[in-house]
DNA sequence: CAACTGACTCACT
DNA sequence: TAGTGAGCCAGTT
C-alpha cells in the first residue's frame, strides 16, 4: 500500500498463506478463496509480489493452478522457490509441484 | 472517477 | 504441446 500499510485484502491473503502447513502448497485461486476473495487469484499474486514479507509469509508455498512455480520469483528466481519447497519435503519437478500430493486441502 | 497492469485461470486454436 | 484470447479481482496511476 502507499502508506506502507497492507490492506485488509493483503492481510487476509497473508494469513491464508501462513495457514498453509509446511510441506504443503496452495494455488493462488485457493488462497484467494480461503481468504474470502473468490476468483482474486490475480490480486493474490500481485499482493505477494508487492509485499514480499519473506519469513513471515511463506509465499514460496504458493504456486499456480498447475503447480507451476512463479516465473518471476522475486527471491532469487523460480529456482529459489523450488529449492525452498524441496527443503520442506516437497518434490519439485521441472519447476512444478504435484498438486495431487502436495496441494493443501484444509479449508 | 476511469483506465491500465499483473507472481492467475480457463477455454479455444 | 504450445500459443493466444477473454474473464476475473484488487491495487496503482
CA A66 distance to own-chain centroid: 13
Q: How far is the CA of A104 from the C1' of C13 (A)?
A: 37
Mean pLDDT taken over chain A? 90
Determine the Cα–Cα distance for residues A6 and A28; give it in Å rounded to an integer: 18
Determine the Cα–Cα distance for residues A38 and A69; give it in Å rounded to an integer: 21
Please indicate whether residue A72 or residue A102 has the higher confidence score (pLDDT): A102
> Which nucleotide lies at the shortest CA–C1' distance from A13?
C10
Cell of A32: 484467494
Please indicate whether residue A18 or residue A55 has the higher confidence score (pLDDT): A18
Residue A36 has pLDDT above 70, yes or no: yes
pLDDT for residue A107? 66
Q: How far is the CA of A100 from the C1' of C1 (A)?
A: 22
pLDDT for residue A73? 73
Determine the Cα–Cα distance for residues A47 and A106; give it in Å rounded to an integer: 22
Place of cell 528466481: A77
> Structure pTM?
0.93
Q: Check whether residue A84 has its CB closer than 7 Å to nucleic acid strand B.
A: no
Please indicate whether residue A63 or residue A73 has the higher confidence score (pLDDT): A63
Q: What is the number of other CB atoms lying within 10 angstroms of the CB of residue A91?
A: 12
CA A52 distance to own-chain centroid: 11
Residue A87 has pLDDT above 90, yes or no: yes
Amino acid at each position: 500500500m502507499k502508506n506502507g500499510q497492507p490492506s485488509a485484502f493483503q492481510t487476509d491473503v497473508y494469513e491464508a498463506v501462513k495457514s498453509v502447513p509446511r510441506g504443503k502448497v496452495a494455488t493462488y485461486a485457493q488462497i484467494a478463496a480461503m481468504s474470502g476473495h473468490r476468483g482474486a487469484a490475480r490480486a493474490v499474486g500481485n499482493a505477494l509480489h508487492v509485499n514480499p514479507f519473506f519469513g513471515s509469509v511463506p509465499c514460496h508455498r504458493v504456486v499456480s493452478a498447475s503447480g507451476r512455480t512463479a516465473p518471476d520469483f522475486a527471491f532469487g528466481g523460480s529456482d529459489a522457490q523450488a529449492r525452498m519447497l524441496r527443503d520442506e519435503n516437497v518434490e519439485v519437478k521441472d519447476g512444478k509441484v504435484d498438486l495431487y500430493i502436495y496441494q493443501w486441502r484444509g479449508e
